[in-house]
């Protein structure tokens, strides 16, 4: 067919993947804003091929969310403002990928997420019991999807590329991943991470990383009361403050010191 024209695209093409898939009758867009299919739930990859071959159109699928509202209720940050409406600025999937600092109100909510968020998919009843292990080449490597957080902190660009370069989450580079790992260590209140976090605070050239390290150290020290590790962290923060020139990092250090002081007063 010499006159046939075709163009294929995935993710970054001219079409809005989910809207086109909904119109093509592949599924409906749920309250979690994801395309949900009856057969595979929302665990699908979307791609399009535009052609001038005349196909009969498929019928759109009925919206089957009904009275369910689980995704809206379980979203950790209230990013699903209401069904089918997402405030991306509040969404953990977006926040884990941004390159600057994560706003303070969302750091606790990030929990141990190093990249992305799946909560609104995991809770969806249409994803329950679905076998999505259909392509061995797409099976995640557990070591890569759940890496040791402390090991991420001192990773070089080369190590990052070698280890994670082939993963979707690597497209933003290593800084957001390292910042998220630091926040996760703070959320775990992991005192074994104090030394590597102090190294980030004092040696890392990137203000976002130093600021996140100050926040995490404050959180760890405040949770350990008057333990000697907390004293060590407090001293490191004070020393860092004496030489820090970046205003945002200085603010993070001051807030961390205040947090430790308040926790100490509460203990006393
Ligand atoms: S990805 Fe996470 S934060 Fe974003 S809307 Fe879904 S549950 Fe909420
Ligand atoms: S969790 Fe419930 S409301 Fe949300 S997308 Fe799934 S079916 Fe729809």
Whether 167 and 264 map to the same domain: the answer is yes
- This prediction has a pTM of 0.91
Catalytic residue among 11, 58, 141, 203: 11
The pLDDT of residue 266: 60
Instruction: For residues 6 and 73, give the distance between their C-alpha atoms in angstroms, rounded to a whole number.
Output: 42
User: 31 CB less than 6 Å from ligand 2?
Assistant: yes
242 found inside a domain: yes
- Domain with 30, as residue range(s), is 6-51
User: Is residue 227, in this structure, part of any structural domain at all?
Assistant: yes
8 A C-beta contact, residue 95 and residue 110:
yes
| Region for 182 from its dihedrals, namely left if φ exceeds 0, alpha if ψ lies in -120 to 50, beta otherwise | alpha
Predicted local distance difference test score (pLDDT) of residue 267: 57
Question: Which SS3 state, helix, strand or coil, does residue 86 take?
Answer: strand
Q: Which of 90, 93, 95 is nearest to 79 (CA)?
A: 90
Closest CA to 115 of 181, 165, 163, 166: 181
DSSP state of 37: B
The response to whether residue 79 sits with its C-beta less than 6 Å from ligand 1 reads yes
Question: Could you tell me if residue 186 is inside a domain?
Answer: yes
**Whether the CB of 68 sits within 6 Å of ligand 2:** yes
Q: Is residue 47 domain-shared with residue 147, that is, in the same domain?
A: no
Q: Does residue 149 sit in the same domain as residue 253? A: yes
SS3 call for 180:
helix
Domain boundary among 51, 68, 84: 51
pLDDT recorded at residue 144: 85
Rounded to 5 degrees, what are φ and ψ at 211? -65, -45
| pLDDT, one tens digit for every residue, the chain (268 residues) | 779 999 999 888 889 999 999 999 999 999 999 999 999 999 999 999 999 999 998 999 999 999 999 999 999 999 999 889 999 999 999 999 999 999 999 999 999 999 999 999 999 999 999 988 888 888 888 888 889 999 999 999 999 999 999 888 888 899 999 999 999 999 999 889 999 999 999 999 999 999 999 999 999 999 976 576 789 999 999 999 999 999 999 999 999 999 999 987 665 5
User: Which of 34, 72, 93 has the most ligand 1 atoms within 8 A of CB, as the residue to mutate?
Assistant: 93
**pLDDT score, position 87:** 97
Strand-pairing partners, residue 86, are: 80
In a domain, 150, yes or no: yes
Let me know how long the chain is: 268
Q: Is residue 20 included in any domain, yes or no?
A: yes
Q: Are residues 146 and 29 in the same domain?
A: no
CA distance 176 to 246: 19
Residue pLDDT, tens place only, 215-233 = 999 999 999 765 767 899 9
CA of 80 to the centre of ligand 1 (A): 7
Q: Is residue 70 part of a domain?
A: no
Nearest to 213 by CA among 256, 170, 243, 245: 256
Flag whether 211 is in a domain: yes
Nearest to 7 by CA among 19, 22, 20: 20
d(CA 176, CA 183): 11
173-183 pLDDT, tens digit each: 999 999 999 99
CA pair distance 243, 226, nearest whole angstrom: 25
User: In the prediction, which pLDDT does 229 show?
Assistant: 77
Tokens of 141: 């490597």
Instruction: Give the tokens for residue 93.
Output: 């999937």
pLDDT of 122 reads 96
Ligand 2 neighbour 86 (Cβ under 6 A):
no
267/159 same-domain check = yes
Of 35, 51, 67, which residue constitutes the final position of a domain? 51
Q: How far is CA 134 from CA 41, 119, 142, 145, 182, in A?
A: 14, 22, 17, 18, 34
Q: 159 and 264 share a domain?
A: yes
Specify the CATH number for the domain of residue 187. 1.25.10.10
For 63, half-sphere exposure in the C-beta direction (CA atoms, 13 angstrom radius) is 12
Same-domain check for residues 45 and 163: no
Closest residue by Cα to residue 190 from 142, 145, 149: 149
Using the mean position of ligand 2's atoms as its centre, give its distance from the Cα of residue 94 in Å: 20
Number of domains in the chain: 2
State whether 148 and 267 are in the same domain. yes
Is 11 one of the catalytic residues? yes
Q: Which ligand is nearest to the CA of 32?
A: 2
Domain assignment present for residue 86? The answer is: no
The pLDDT value given to residue 140: 83
């Amino acid at each position: 067919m010499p006159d046939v024209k075709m163009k294929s695209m995935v993710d970054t093409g001219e079409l809005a993947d989910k809207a086109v898939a909904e119109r093509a009758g592949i599924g409906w867009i749920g309250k979690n804003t994801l395309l949900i299919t009856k057969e595979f739930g929302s665990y699908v990859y979307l791609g399009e091929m535009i052609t001038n071959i005349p196909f009969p159109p498929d019928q759109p699928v009925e919206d089957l969310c009904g009275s369910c509202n689980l995704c809206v209720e379980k979203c950790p940050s209230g990013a699903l403002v209401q069904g089918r409406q997402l405030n991306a600025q509040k969404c953990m999937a977006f926040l884990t990928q941004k390159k600057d600092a994560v706003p303070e109100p969302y750091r606790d909510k990030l929990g141990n997420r190093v990249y992305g968020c799946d909560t609104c998919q995991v809770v969806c009843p249409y994803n329950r019991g679905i076998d999505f292990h259909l392509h061995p080449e797409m099976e995640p490597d557990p070591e890569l999807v759940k890496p040791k957080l402390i090991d991420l902190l001192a990773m070089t660009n080369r190590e990052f590329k070698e280890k994670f370069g082939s993963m979707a989450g690597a497209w933003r580079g290593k800084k957001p991943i390292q910042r998220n790992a630091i926040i996760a260590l703070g959320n775990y209140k992991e005192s074994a991470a104090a030394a590597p976090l102090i190294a980030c605070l004092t040696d890392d050239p990137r203000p976002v990383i130093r600021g996140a390290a100050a926040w995490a150290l404050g959180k760890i020290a405040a949770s350990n009361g008057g333990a000697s590790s907390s004293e060590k962290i407090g001293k490191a923060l004070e020393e860092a403050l004496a030489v820090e020139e970046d205003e945002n990092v200085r603010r993070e250090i001051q807030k961390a010191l205040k947090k430790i002081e308040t926790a100490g007063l509460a203990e006393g």
